[in-house]
Every structure is written in C-alpha cells, then in structure tokens.
C-alpha cells in the first residue's frame, strides 16, 4: 500500500511537470519566434503566443482553486475561503442523496440477506464460529455467577414448590391404594419375605434371647417351683427363642404360599390397617407437621453450591454438549427452511430501515466530524491529490487548444489582409 501511494504521488508530480513543461515550451517558442518572419514564422509565433496565454490562464485558474497565485488574494484560494460552504454541500449531498435511507434500502433490498447468511454458515465457517462464540459467551457468563446466590434462589424455589405439593395427602392416598386387592396381595407377601430375612438374622435372635431372659427372670421371680417347671420342660432361653422363631417362620411361610387361612387373615388385617391409616386425621396432621419442620430445618444450600461448582461451572459443563446440539439443529433447520429464511430476510431489512430512519441524523454528523478533522492545508492537499490528473490535463489541453486557436486566428487575419 505505501508503494502504491508513493507511485501515485510520483505520477501526479510527473503530470504536473508535464503541464509546466508545456507552458515553458510555449513561452520559449513565443520568445524564440519573435524575430521570425514570413508566414510560417508568424504562424508559429502566434501559435506559441496563444499557447502561452492559454497555459498561463489555465495555470492561474487551477492554482487559484488551491492557493493564491502570484500572491493575488481576490477570488483565489477558493477551497480555503469556501471551506464551510463546500463541507455543507458535501454533507448534504452525502446524507440526503448518496446515503439517504431510500438509496441505501434500494441496494439492501436487492440482496437476499438470508441466503448470504446461509452461505456464510455452510461454506465460510460461520456455523463453527457461531457455536464457538455462543459456547464461549455462555460458559463465561455462567462461570461469573455467584454460586451461593444462585443456590439460594434454587433452594427457595424448591422449598416453595415442595410446600405447595400436598405430599401428606399423596401419602394418605397411597395407603388407601395399597389397601386394594391388586396391591395388598403383593404387599403382604413382600412384607413376609422381608420378615423372614430379618428373622434369620443373628442380631434379631440375640435380641430375642435377651428379652426372653428378662421375661424369664420376671416370671420366675423368687419362686423355685416356676424355675423347676421351666427347667424340667427343657425351656431354656435358647429353646424358647427357637420355638418362637420356628413358629413365626411357619406362619410367614403360609403367608408367602398364599391361599391359606393365615395368608387371608394377614392380608385382611393389613388392608384394614391401611384403610384405617388412610383416613386417620392424626396421621395426616403428623405428616403435615413433619413436612413443614423438615423444609424449615433442612438446608440444601451446601449441596446445591457443590453441585453448581462441580457440574454447572467449568470449561466443560454438562450442559455444553446439549447447547451445541441445540445450536446445530437450529442452524440445520434454518438452512433447510425457506419460509424461515424469508422471515429472517424481512426482519433484518425492516430492522435496518427502522434503525436508519431513527438514526439517519448520525450520518451527516459523522461526515461533518470527519471532514472537520482536516486542517485547511490537509483538505486542500486531499482534494488536489484526487483531481490532480484532470487539472494538469486541463492545463496541457489549454495550451494545445490555445495554440490551435492562435494559429487559426493568424491564418484568418492573414487571409483577410490579402483579400483586402
């Protein structure tokens, strides 16, 4: 770019030198042909004279645009003297004509903005840049959040939501449903199987043995006869525990087998208990009190803060892949949907027109501000550099045309003198 600018300045200087050279040749020819006689000498003399006059006139006119030729200030230095008027005219032309809302929108409406966007997304890396930019912005925004504050908001929402959910009534309704035949039959068997596993536990048997031992001591008391009877029957603590467990295992087996009197009685008892509990106001009140107390006492804040820091924040949070998938799906849908593209095209064009109309006054302000940054000398230099070629050709053409006119007049005068 500097090389091109340097070459352009060199061309301008060369053209200016050519114009000056043409003027110098004209003046030298005029002086050199003063003593020349005859028709040819007079023709050349008047040609050079007219070329010199024309070249000087054009030089004065061209120079007067940018400075004061020969120090003459009257009607010269046109650009500096008329700077404000020229700037106002340029600003008016640019804002009201060249860059008017109507002209800009005429150009914009000839373009299919949506198709340009599709081409960018599909063939110029736009999709990748879009996903990368959205990912970066989203991750950065989330990572700047205050985890404790966000967790506090989430905790409040969760607790408020749980308070509005009638958990206690759901539990009561669950008890009523479990009392129905289709559920109670499975429930009684499941409870019996659990009871079997518990009964087989050494820990339970040890507890039973301890309780039997205490009851035995209370029963015997200071009576030797009672102790003798139990001993003679072989009812030691271990034997009593064994008898209890065997009897319970037998009954549980009957319940699990089903279709036995024990099963029927146990199921009926369970159903009665469940129905009674489902209608018990005291149980309902107890569940309500428990829920209220639990929500008041429990704190989810530490768990939520830990979860947010571990999974929501970071460079690769759990939601990032879902966001990228969502973006790619939306881009695919946009690329394949002409109705959507037409809506986007109309939206951007209408938005641009609205914003241009609303802020069009900024354009003349910007142009005026930019032109105001130029000093008089800088403005003159800029204008001169843009029209230098044409102005120098005017000077050269002025000399050539002047020369032709001068020679033509000389021929006409000579012919007229000879005729008369």
Cβ atoms of 208 and 245 within 8 Å: the answer is yes
How many alpha carbons fall within 13 Å on the CB side of residue 348? 14
Within 8 A by CB and 6+ apart from 111, the residues are none
Planar angle of CA 290, 295, 299, nearest 5 degrees: 135
Measured over the CA atoms of residue 11, residue 17, residue 19 and residue 21, the dihedral's sign is negative
**Residue of 401, 414, 331 whose CA lies nearest to 53:** 401
Using CA atoms, how far apart are residues 333 and 335, in angstroms rounded to an integer? 6
The token pair at 232 is 């003679």
Residue 129 has a pLDDT of 94
**Residue of 265, 266, 86 whose CA lies nearest to 187:** 266
Cβ atoms of 284 and 170 within 8 Å: the answer is no
Per-residue pLDDT of the chain (420 residues; tens, 9 = 90+): 444 444 555 555 565 677 778 778 877 877 877 766 777 777 887 888 888 888 788 788 877 777 777 777 777 777 777 777 878 887 888 888 888 888 888 888 888 989 999 999 999 999 999 999 999 999 999 999 999 999 999 988 888 888 888 888 888 888 888 888 888 888 888 888 888 888 777 887 778 777 767 766 666 555 555 555 555 566 666 777 777 788 888 888 888 887 788 888 888 888 888 888 888 889 888 988 888 888 888 888 899 899 999 999 988 899 999 999 999 999 999 999 999 999 999 999 999 999 988 888 888 888 888 877 777 777 777 777 777 777 778 778 888 888 888 888 878 888 887 776
- Check residue 97 and report its DSSP letter: I
- pTM (global) more than 0.75: no
Within 8 A by CB and 6+ apart from 212, the residues are 237, 240, 241, 244
Cβ atoms of 18 and 44 within 8 Å: the answer is no
Residue 234 has a pLDDT of 60
Residue 291 has a pLDDT of 85
Chain-centroid distance of CA 53 in Å reads 69
Using CA atoms, how far apart are residues 395 and 400, in angstroms rounded to an integer? 9
């Amino acid at each position: 770019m500097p090389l091109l600018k340097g070459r352009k300045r060199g061309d301008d200087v060369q053209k200016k030198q050519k114009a000056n050279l043409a003027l110098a040749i004209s003046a030298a020819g005029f002086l050199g042909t003063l003593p020349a006689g005859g028709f040819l000498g007079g023709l050349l003399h008047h040609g050079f004279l007219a070329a010199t006059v024309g070249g000087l006139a054009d030089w004065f006119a061209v120079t007067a645009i940018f400075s004061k030729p020969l120090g003459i200030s009257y009607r010269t230095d046109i650009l500096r003297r008329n700077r404000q008027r020229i700037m106002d005219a340029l600003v008016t032309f640019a804002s009201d004509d060249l860059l008017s809302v109507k002209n800009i929108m005429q150009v914009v409406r000839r373009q299919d903005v949506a198709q340009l966007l599709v081409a960018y997304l599909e063939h110029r890396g736009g999709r990748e840049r879009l996903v990368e930019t959205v990912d970066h912005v989203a991750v950065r925004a989330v990572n700047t959040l205050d985890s404790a504050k966000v967790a506090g908001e989430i905790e409040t929402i969760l607790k408020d939501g749980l308070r509005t959910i009638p958990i206690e009534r759901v539990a009561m309704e669950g008890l009523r449903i479990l009392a129905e035949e289709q559920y109670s039959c499975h429930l009684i068997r499941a409870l019996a199987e659990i009871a079997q596993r518990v009964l087989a536990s050494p820990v339970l048997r040890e507890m039973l043995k301890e309780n039997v031992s205490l009851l035995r001591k209370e029963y015997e008391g200071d009576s030797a006869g009672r102790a003798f009877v139990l001993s003679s029957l072989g009812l030691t603590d271990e034997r009593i525990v064994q008898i209890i467990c065997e009897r319970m295992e037998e009954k549980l087996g009957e319940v699990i087998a089903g279709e036995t009197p024990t099963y029927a009685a146990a199921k009926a008892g369970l159903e009665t208990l469940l129905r009674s509990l489902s209608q018990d106001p005291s149980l309902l009140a107890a569940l309500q009190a428990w829920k209220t107390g639990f929500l008041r006492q429990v704190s989810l804040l530490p768990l939520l803060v830990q979860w947010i820091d571990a999974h929501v924040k970071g460079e690769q949070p759990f939601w990032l892949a879902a966001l990228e998938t969502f973006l790619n799906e939306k881009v695919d849908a946009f690329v394949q949907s002409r109705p959507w593209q037409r809506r986007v095209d109309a939206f951007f064009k209408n938005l641009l027109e609205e914003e241009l109309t609303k802020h069009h006054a900024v354009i003349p302000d910007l142009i005026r501000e930019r032109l105001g940054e130029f000093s008089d000398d800088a403005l003159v230099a800029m204008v001169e550099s843009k029209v230098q070629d044409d102005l120098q050709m005017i000077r050269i053409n002025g000399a050539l045309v002047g020369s032709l006119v001068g020679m033509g007049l000389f021929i006409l005068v000579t012919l007229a003198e000879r005729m008369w």
